[in-house]
Amino acid sequence: TSQTSSSSSSSLPPPASHFIGRKEDIVKAGRVTKLVNGCRDVLVLYHQGQLYAMDMHCYHSGGALKNGDIEEFNGLLCIVCPWHKYKITLEGGEGLYQAVDDPLAKPLRTHWRSKGVKQRIHKVTEVNGDVFVTLNESGEAIESDVYQTEKYRTSFLKA
C-alpha cells in the first residue's frame, strides 16, 4: 500500500521517524493526535485496514480533522472537515471541490475536481506493531502549514 510500509521485512523504524503508539491502540481509538518532534500537530487515523497521517488542523480555517467523517468521493477516500465540510483526500491531502459542468443546464450536473495538495500528508510506518510517523519536510509550502505555528496552537488550546 502507498501510505503504510510493511513491517515484515524490517525490524527497525525508519531513520527520523517518530513513535506514535501501538497499532492496536490506534486501531481501537480510530484516530490519534500527537505533537510530533515537538513541532508538528499530526493526526494519525486508521480506516479500513490502512493507517494515514496528516496535519491535524484543516487547511481551510484550522478545523479539527480528527472529528471528521471519512467518505468516498469519486473513488477517493476523504476526511470531511467537521467545520465547513471541506473534503481532503487521505492519500494525497488534495482538496476536492464540486465543479459544475454547465451553469445553465437544468438540473445542474457536477463532478469532483482537485484543488491540488492542500493538507500536508506524512508517512506512516508500522514495525512489529509499533506505529511511526516520518514528517513530510518537503520545502514546498502547503496551505495546512499555516495552522502549525506556536501562536495558533496556543489559541487553539485555549478555545
CA gap 126, 111 in Å, rounded? 36
Least Cβ distance, residue 83 to ligand FES (angstroms): 4
Measured from the CB atom, the residue of 81 and 142 that comes closer to ligand FES is 81
CA gap 25, 31 in Å, rounded? 9
Least Cβ distance, residue 62 to ligand FES (angstroms): 6
Q: Which long-range contacts (CB under 8 A, 24 or more apart) does 153-158 make?
A: 153/41, 156/57, 156/62
Least Cβ distance, residue 70 to ligand FES (angstroms): 14
Least Cβ distance, residue 81 to ligand FES (angstroms): 3
Sign of CA dihedral 119, 81, 47, 77: negative
List the one residue from 81, 96, 117, 127 that touches ligand FES (CB under 6 A).
Answer: 81
Phi, psi for residue 110 in degrees, rounded to 5: -130, 160
Q: Which three cell numbers stand for residue 39?
A: 513541532
User: Using CB under 6 A, which of the segments 16-24, 30-38, 80-88, 128-136 binds ligand FES?
Assistant: 80-88
Write out the binding residues for ligand FES, residues 30-69 only, by CB under 6 A.
58, 60-63
Binding positions for ligand FES, rule: CB under 6 A: 58, 60-63, 81, 83-84, 86
